[in-house]
Structure 1
Amino acid sequence: MQQQYRISPPDKVRTTVHLPASKSISNRALILNALSLSTTPIHALSDCEDTQVIIDSFNSDSNLFDVKGAGTAMRFLTAFLAGMEGEWIIRGSKRMHERPIHPLVETLIVLGAEIEYLEKEGFPPLKIRGHRLKGGEVYVAGNISSQFISALLMIAPLMENGLVMNIEKQVISKPYIDLTIGMMKDFGVHVKWEDNRITVRPQKYRAVEYRVEKDWSAASYWYEIVSLLPGAEVKLPGLKKESLQGDSYVANLFSDLGVETEYLSDGIIIRHVRRKAKKFFHNFVQEPDLAQTFAATCCFKGIPFLFSGTESLKIKETDRIAALINELQKMGFMLRESGSGMLEWDGERCLPDKVPTIDTYDDHRMAMSMAPGSFLFKPLVINDPMVITKSYPSFWEDLKLAGFTIQPK
């Protein structure tokens, strides 16, 4: 029987929350640490499921890797294993086998990789015959997952001829590519990016001591809570203003939705303020993982919105556009796709379910972005709540510490 949590909110929130380490940084750090042949472990790694999948793969004596639902691990390990001597098989969950990987695989093949689709053409699972890649010049679409580009960049210095990558079309999630390049620099590798051309010459990674910073994506759910509750104040230690994480832009965006951010030497404090946009407009092409949080927040605050740049949400853990439309309708909000990559709520309402029961679609961000809806619907029920282990395993415990009541149903 499916697990459910019944959520009831507190009347006030004044707390300190110790966020998980950044999943994005942790996953890249593990790959770069391995490529540098370092024997020093990464400090303060994320304890999320996605990161654990990569750790388990590196510690495995098998040539068969199961990444479960971890899309980042599937992409990063596919590229990593393509350059490692041996024969490897990499697979994942049913949903993972529905997520296309051909743009990465076909580019790797051009660079000298030997990769075979074991079931459906263009999708995992994969058989990889690993060896040193020749490298060369390739053309990739900028509107595919930035993780494809990051996966190629991280293995590029070890290619015989290095890599020249020409990016065509608009680059989506550019901050994640910037994060990858910045971390490669931390490990001693120089990358040149001019216009839409990225060049990585053959070079060696340097083994370094590395500590992972806290996760700005996880902070977004606390911004949502503070936005919805007058008087709320939350301290979030370990977040940096000058962060390479693209989702640190959440602080700027929430300034229009009633949250002010105070930067401290050891983190931030976020406070509710009486500020409310009449309508919220934003292009999420660079911060797609924040779209669910802002869709939920705007609806819960009664602020119509128009989002663009949401094309990549259809190929995430689930079709996040469809999921948002379905689940927010249960709470009385009629969202619609108003064009390619456009998601809109014009204020139209419908009769909500008496006790909204939110499906999570095996998507951690659906569970966490919908949970603050309990301020409007007391209680709110979340199906399959432990999907949050993918990125923020302590989320429900942190809500309890902030005064929320979480009851298994």
Structure 2
Amino acid sequence: MIYQIATEIKEINGAINLPASKSISNRALIINALSYSPYPIKNLSASDDTKVLEAALFSNSNKFNIGHAGTAMRFLTAFLAKIVGEWEITGSERMQQRPISILVDALSQLGAKIEYLGNEGCPPLKIFGSHLKGQTIELDGSVSSQYISALLLIAPTVENGLTLKLLGNITSRSYIKLTLELMAKFGIKYRWDDNEVFVPEQKYFARDLICEADWSGASYWYQMMALVGDGEVLLENLLLDSLQGDANIATWFEQFGVTSTQKAEGVVLAKSKNRQPEKLIFDFIENPDVAQTMACLCVAKNIPFHFSGLKTLKIKETDRIAALQNELAKFGVSITEPEHGELAWEGKIDQEQREENPIIRTYHDHRMALAFAPMALAGFNMQIDDPMVVTKSYPGFWDDLEKIGFKIEK
């Protein structure tokens, strides 16, 4: 399936019911299971990733296929390692290429028994769930924060608790903070000193939880507001004072003339003035999931950029660095990787290489479709291949675009 994306609108107005936070929902599901909670999570994300994780946790089977859901793979691997029984977990072809040995090795140090059923170091896995005994584990802090969060979520239920020593620079620190702060809402005490986190053995306390709106989903509306000349949009259920690290983007977009105001119903975005930086230099080590949004925005507004802190993008749903290079090249844009985990563009567009109506491949990656589509506001007409990949995190995205005036031919 391919969607043709185009629009001639110059301003955006309206109210958007953003999806609930996938990051909060997935963590809350694991915590609810560990606390044997009788309370259903309110406003749970309707994303594919969350549905897959929820289905696995409520399944009567011991075999799970989580498709492209990396969070579900990592969180379930740690969770099942401490649930007595024999379990098998697999995923899509891409998932079977994504490394998980760092997490498996860490769990093995706690006494877990896990076997690789395919390629060494990657899913599918056979897990022999058993009692785990805590100790101090050293992990490279620059790897995916999902490994770290997976271990932290089960840490209170491990005998003697768990100490994690994170070596080197910590990638996506905000997601680790999100995990710990959400655990604290369920009664968990912890200590985080510099690069060491200690979670003692203790019990989760069941409680009600309402998931807030997703800031990663909000980033595409900030992107769109930066691309139009005027307008005001209410992003319902969004909180400026959020558990999510991506809430930082509210201040980033001030340099694009976009303001954010907290109201009872959510956050109101408004275009105060038309302005933009001459060049955007940014380290995404805390917020790598927003890198595609910002790269597409810069190209659409012809802003040179140099991004760093993107090493983890290579092990996502696809190699996101290569995917951005491939697809932005269809607009006559040459994106370089000056160093490992960096992206740069000098601001030049080769009109001879630019395709008039390119087909943008999404590589089974929801953020490719979500980040590219708003570029239509700057006159970049395009076709999106496999458009329903957005259901991984933002199922109603195309409906929301049509609501504000985008033309989408299906």
1:7 is aligned, of 5, 8, 18, to: 5
Q: Which residue of 2 aligns with 1:283?
A: 283
* The 10-residue stretch of structure 1 (55-64 or 282-291) with the greater mean CA deviation from structure 2: 55-64
Q: Which residue of 1 aligns with 2:204?
A: 205
Alpha-carbon offset, residue 201 of structure 1: 0.9
- Provide the C-alpha distance between the structure 2 equivalents of 1:314 and 1:365, rounded to a whole number of angstroms: 14
Alpha-carbon offset, residue 256 of structure 1: 1.4
SS of 2:164's equivalent?
A: strand
TM-score of the superposed pair, with normalisation by structure 2: 0.97
Q: Which residue of 2 aligns with 1:39?
A: 38
Per-residue CA deviations over 1:59-81 (Å, capped at 9, x if unaligned) read: 21110011100000000000000
Alpha-carbon offset, residue 379 of structure 1: 3.4
Q: Which residue of 2 aligns with 1:362?
A: 364
The equivalences for 1:147-162 within 5 A come to 147-162=146-161
* The 10-residue stretch of structure 1 (93-102 or 231-240) with the greater mean CA deviation from structure 2: 231-240
Q: Which residue of 2 aligns with 1:329?
A: 329
2:97 alignment partner AA: E
Residues 23 and 243 (structure 1 numbering): CA distance in 2 closer, same or farther, change over 3 Å?
A: same
Q: Which residue of 2 aligns with 1:385?
A: 387
SS of 2:256's equivalent?
A: coil
Q: Which residue of 2 aligns with 1:305?
A: 305
1:374 alignment partner AA: A
- Provide the C-alpha distance between the structure 2 equivalents of 1:77 and 1:222, rounded to a whole number of angstroms: 32
- Provide the C-alpha distance between the structure 2 equivalents of 1:249 and 1:29, rounded to a whole number of angstroms: 22
- Provide the C-alpha distance between the structure 1 equivalents of 2:257 and 2:323, rounded to a whole number of angstroms: 26
1:316 matches 2:316: yes
1:399 is aligned, of 371, 382, 401, to: 401
Q: Which residue of 2 aligns with 1:187?
A: 186
Alpha-carbon offset, residue 263 of structure 1: 2.0
Contact 1:173-1:287 within 8 A present in 2 as well = yes
- Provide the C-alpha distance between the structure 2 equivalents of 1:5 and 1:165, rounded to a whole number of angstroms: 45
Q: Which residue of 2 aligns with 1:98?
A: 97
Q: Which residue of 1 aligns with 2:345?
A: 345
Contact 1:25-1:212 within 8 A present in 2 as well = yes
* The 10-residue stretch of structure 1 (315-324 or 373-382) with the greater mean CA deviation from structure 2: 373-382
* The 10-residue stretch of structure 1 (250-259 or 67-76) with the greater mean CA deviation from structure 2: 250-259
SS of 1:38's equivalent?
A: coil
- Provide the C-alpha distance between the structure 2 equivalents of 1:107 and 1:249, rounded to a whole number of angstroms: 31
Contact 1:37-1:207 within 8 A present in 2 as well = yes
- Provide the C-alpha distance between the structure 2 equivalents of 1:245 and 1:10, rounded to a whole number of angstroms: 33
2:158 alignment partner AA: M
* The 10-residue stretch of structure 1 (158-167 or 377-386) with the greater mean CA deviation from structure 2: 377-386
- Provide the C-alpha distance between the structure 2 equivalents of 1:379 and 1:160, rounded to a whole number of angstroms: 57
Per-residue CA deviations over 1:132-188 (Å, capped at 9, x if unaligned) read: 201111111100100000000010111112111111011100000000000110011
Alpha-carbon offset, residue 8 of structure 1: 1.4
Alpha-carbon offset, residue 50 of structure 1: 0.2
Per-residue CA deviations over 1:178-220 (Å, capped at 9, x if unaligned) read: 0000011001111111121111111010010111000010000
- Provide the C-alpha distance between the structure 2 equivalents of 1:328 and 1:211, rounded to a whole number of angstroms: 38
1:4 alignment partner AA: I
1:31 alignment partner AA: I
- Provide the C-alpha distance between the structure 1 equivalents of 2:227 and 2:34, rounded to a whole number of angstroms: 44
- Provide the C-alpha distance between the structure 1 equivalents of 2:374 and 2:209, rounded to a whole number of angstroms: 34
Alpha-carbon offset, residue 10 of structure 1: 4.0
SS of 1:119's equivalent?
A: coil
- Provide the C-alpha distance between the structure 2 equivalents of 1:218 and 1:195, rounded to a whole number of angstroms: 30
The equivalences for 1:73-222 within 5 A come to 73-222=72-221
Alpha-carbon offset, residue 257 of structure 1: 2.2
Alpha-carbon offset, residue 108 of structure 1: 0.2
- Provide the C-alpha distance between the structure 2 equivalents of 1:276 and 1:159, rounded to a whole number of angstroms: 50
- Provide the C-alpha distance between the structure 2 equivalents of 1:360 and 1:101, rounded to a whole number of angstroms: 23
Contact 2:227-2:378 within 8 A present in 1 as well = no
SS of 2:230's equivalent?
A: coil
SS of 2:338's equivalent?
A: strand
2:360 alignment partner AA: I
- Provide the C-alpha distance between the structure 2 equivalents of 1:160 and 1:236, rounded to a whole number of angstroms: 43
Q: Which residue of 2 aligns with 1:237?
A: 236
1:343 alignment partner AA: L
1:327 alignment partner AA: E
Structure 2 unaligned regions, length at least 5: none
SS of 2:327's equivalent?
A: helix
Alpha-carbon offset, residue 265 of structure 1: 2.8
Alpha-carbon offset, residue 378 of structure 1: 5.8
- Provide the C-alpha distance between the structure 2 equivalents of 1:149 and 1:58, rounded to a whole number of angstroms: 20
Q: Which residue of 2 aligns with 1:60?
A: 59
* The 10-residue stretch of structure 1 (133-142 or 44-53) with the greater mean CA deviation from structure 2: 133-142
* The 10-residue stretch of structure 1 (121-130 or 158-167) with the greater mean CA deviation from structure 2: 158-167
Alpha-carbon offset, residue 253 of structure 1: 1.0
Q: Percent of aligned pairs with the same residue?
A: 49
- Provide the C-alpha distance between the structure 1 equivalents of 2:8 and 2:25, rounded to a whole number of angstroms: 33
TM-score of the superposed pair, with normalisation by structure 1: 0.98
Residues matched between the structures, number: 406
Contact 1:356-1:377 within 8 A present in 2 as well = no
Contact 1:225-1:372 within 8 A present in 2 as well = yes
2:5 alignment partner AA: I
- Provide the C-alpha distance between the structure 2 equivalents of 1:141 and 1:85, rounded to a whole number of angstroms: 29
> After the TM superposition, which segments of 4 or more aligned residues of structure 1 sit over 2 Å from their partners?
375-379
- Provide the C-alpha distance between the structure 2 equivalents of 1:241 and 1:378, rounded to a whole number of angstroms: 31
Contact 1:9-1:378 within 8 A present in 2 as well = no
Alpha-carbon offset, residue 266 of structure 1: 2.7
* The 10-residue stretch of structure 1 (110-119 or 335-344) with the greater mean CA deviation from structure 2: 335-344
SS of 1:13's equivalent?
A: strand
